[in-house]
Amino acid sequence: MARVLPILATQSIILCLAIVSSTAENPNHEFARTVNKKQMGLKREKLSHFRIYWHDILAGPNPSGVQVVPPQNASLTAFGLVRMIDNPLTAGPDLSTKFVGRAQGFYASASQQELGLLMAMNFAFTEGKYNGSTITVLGRNAVFTKVREMPVIGGSGLFRFARGYVEATTAKLDLKTGDATVEYNCYVLHY
């Protein structure tokens, strides 16, 4: 018993010092604090531009876009339709060109007046230095407008703290099958 008391006393002192130390770092017990960018390895912000082609394949034996919620009425805009996507991203307009990643997420027909989609997707890159990095696009896509702009709201990997925008332009559209190829010009500010 005599040996246990000094050990308990030592452990108590260490615990008290740890509590005092952590309280000194955050005396008000706040849940948020300002962080130095350099301590997180963030250096200079840069602007990157890249062009990719998004292939929405609805027909055939292995579609990359699958309807998960049908429209609730016979509207011309398919209002209410929701489609999950795992679309190939390529460096050129043909599906046979270099594969650079996947667009994963969903789009939904969110307009009763025109074909206007709510797009929510991650561009998950698999090529070169961007392998494993993503950018997140969330916005409105008025499908029959020549160039549509949507915001980049974040990212991961090399695109941490990303912000910017994408411009989408339809390269090919098959009205019979619904298959589409869309050129995305991405302008992304990141560290």
Q: How many domains does the chain have?
A: 1
Lowest mean pLDDT: which of 4-13, 118-127, 154-163? 4-13
Is 184 within a domain?
Answer: yes
Domain hosting 65: range is 45-190
Q: How many CA atoms lie within 13 A of 23 on its CB side?
A: 6
Q: For residue 185, is it within any domain?
A: yes
The answer to the question of residue 136 being in a domain is: yes
Q: Is the pLDDT of residue 2 over 60?
A: no
* Whole-angstrom distance, CA of residue 8 vs CA of residue 14: 10
pTM for the structure as a whole: 0.81
Encode pLDDT of 42-97 as tens digits.
788 999 999 999 999 999 999 999 999 999 888 899 999 999 999 999 999 999 99
171 within some domain: yes
Domain assignment present for 183: yes
Which pLDDT score is estimated for 9? 54
**Domain holding 75: CATH number?**
2.40.480.10
Kindly report, residue by residue over 127-145, the tens digit of the pLDDT: 999 999 999 999 999 999 9
Nearest to 159 by CA among 52, 34, 47: 47
Q: What is the pLDDT of residue 150?
A: 98
- Is residue 162 assigned to a domain? yes
Whether 15 maps to a domain, the answer reads: no
In tens, the pLDDT along 96-132 reads 999 999 999 999 999 999 999 999 999 999 999 999 9
Query: Whole-angstrom Cα distance, residue 139 to residue 166?
Result: 10
Q: How far apart are CA 85 and CA 93, in angstroms?
A: 18
Residue 25: inside a domain, yes or no?
A: no
